[in-house]
Structure 1
């Protein structure tokens, strides 16, 4: 990325973000205005609103990944920042990848509420699946952080650091 293309790339990313916000707002408001007055007719609009929100979240996660890539390209063009740019990007990508299954579990649970029918049955949504997704995401983020921190710490001290084996934690 050259210095002349950097502002255009970041402006395009910002424009994507504004389109995501607009689609979410307009899509939700259009469906909210069409809600029926009787609770029995809410299934269709409820699912449509969930679909609008799910698309906004998925589009935002993709945008965040593209933003990290753009920032990394910019930082790598600045002398002496390349190792830190890659390490920071790895951590941010891990956070994005960690949030994605959490959002999907939340939307799946919300859709299950619609499938459950009457409110009395709605309490049976898959809480355990959502908690397991949270636990798995946090473990993945911690593992990536440990793997990323070891080489960066070694670079600062001039030592070499070995990557911890998958499924193990880095020792301090």
Structure 2
């Protein structure tokens, strides 16, 4: 790599770190907001999907740019240049495939989010007793044993007092 390409690679890595930092900060902010008001679960889910989609898009663009930087290295000899072109072409094909897979995954996650939200609304309205619905939204009360399940008995409100089974 030439000195110029080292600078390009450093810039690409810096931008990649920035993409990841922005994604993590947006996720932390969204979760903090959700903690303040859990009724916005749908909005948070959509925002998180959009943030992730954008981070993936930017990352794939940076990978393409990195390939271009490697290929533009004018210091390669002719035999290595052909190998560089071949590996660059294979890498681009892999990035294109991953981009299509990610796009399909995000599309499915968006459709799942809509149906999941509706399902949870129906479930919480008709199927969950008020105490469980309250626990789902607010968490169990401090020291509330009624929300705990004993692994040994599978019943709520009882502590596991059984001794380990003898071998």
Task: Give the structure-1-normalised TM-score.
Answer: 0.63
Which has the greater radius of gyration? 2
Q: Alignment partner for residue 75 of structure 2, among 74, 77, 87?
A: 77
Q: Does 1:118 align with 2:108?
A: no
User: How many equivalent pairs are there?
Assistant: 119
In structure 2, the residue matched to 1:90 is 89
In structure 1, the residue matched to 2:130 is none
Contact 2:64 2:92 in 1 (8 A): yes
CA distance in 2, matches of 1:40, 1:68: 44
Q: Does 1:19 align with 2:3?
A: no
**Deviation at 1:77?**
2.4
Q: Which runs of 5+ in 1 are unaligned?
A: 122-172
Contact 1:36 1:42 in 2 (8 A): no
- RMSD, aligned CA: 2.0
In structure 1, the residue matched to 2:30 is 31
1:112–1:51 Cα change, 3 Å: same
1:113–1:39 Cα change, 3 Å: farther
1:120–1:32 Cα change, 3 Å: closer
4+ runs deviating over 6 angstroms: none
In structure 1, the residue matched to 2:103 is 104
